[in-house]
């Protein structure tokens, strides 16, 4: 009985180590330059913006799908981006709709080319919105501007739900 318990416990611990290893980058130290939060690709997750996803590819398509379903929000964002911007393409790579909307606001507010901001945020290596702002506009308080854009994004998302 004791041997069976030890065997089961050993297998459980051994199997638990596999997904934990898979969550980290395979570059020498485990933590990535992106900070470590939100890098659990391959595992179901939920976020404050209502996206529930199981893979990175699903996240990208759900951001695009949500934009297609929400014409009010899409119209607002299209007006903040340069004419001719393909919204579904622009949204690819972002973790969720809120992150994308905040990035659009930062690009508009600070006159940062959206493609440059997206490249910093989506990576590799991925950076937070605040760090991306700081890198692209060194004289600006990245944390403050990120917070401002996140509030604008939340307001846009709330407004777009109202009919």
ω into residue 124 within 30 of 0, thus cis? yes
Residue 157 lies in a domain: yes
Give pLDDT, residue 156: 95
- Widest distance between CA atoms in the chain: 71
- Asked if residue 64 is part of any domain, the answer here is no
Per-position pLDDT tens, the chain of length 163: 555 444 444 444 343 443 333 333 333 333 333 333 333 333 333 344 444 433 444 554 588 889 998 999 999 999 999 999 999 999 999 999 999 999 999 999 999 999 999 999 999 999 999 999 999 999 999 999 999 999 999 999 999 988 6
Counting beta carbons within 10 angstroms of the beta carbon of residue 148, is it exposed (0 to 12), middle (13 to 18) or buried (19 or more)?
middle
For residues 121 and 100, give the distance between their C-alpha atoms in angstroms, rounded to a whole number: 10
Classify residue 101: in a domain, yes or no: yes
Domain that holds residue 146: 88-163
> Would you say residue 29 lies in a domain?
no
């Amino acid at each position: 009985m004791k041997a069976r318990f030890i065997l089961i416990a050993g297998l459980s611990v051994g199997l638990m180590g596999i997904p934990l290893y898979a969550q980290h980058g395979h570059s020498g130290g485990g933590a990535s330059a992106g900070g470590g939060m939100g890098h659990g690709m391959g595992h179901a997750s939920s976020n404050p913006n209502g996206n529930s996803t199981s893979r990175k590819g699903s996240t990208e398509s759900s951001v695009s799908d949500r934009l297609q379903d929400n014409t009010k929000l899409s119209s607002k964002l299209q007006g903040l981006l340069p004419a001719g911007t393909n919204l579904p393409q622009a949204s690819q790579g972002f973790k969720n709709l809120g992150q994308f909307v905040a990035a659009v606001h930062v690009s508009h507010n600070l006159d940062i080319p959206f493609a440059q901001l997206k490249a910093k945020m989506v990576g590799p290596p991925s950076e937070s919105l605040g760090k991306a702002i700081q890198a692209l506009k060194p004289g600006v308080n990245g944390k403050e501007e990120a917070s401002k854009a996140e509030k604008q994004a939340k307001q846009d998302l709330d407004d777009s739900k109202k009919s």
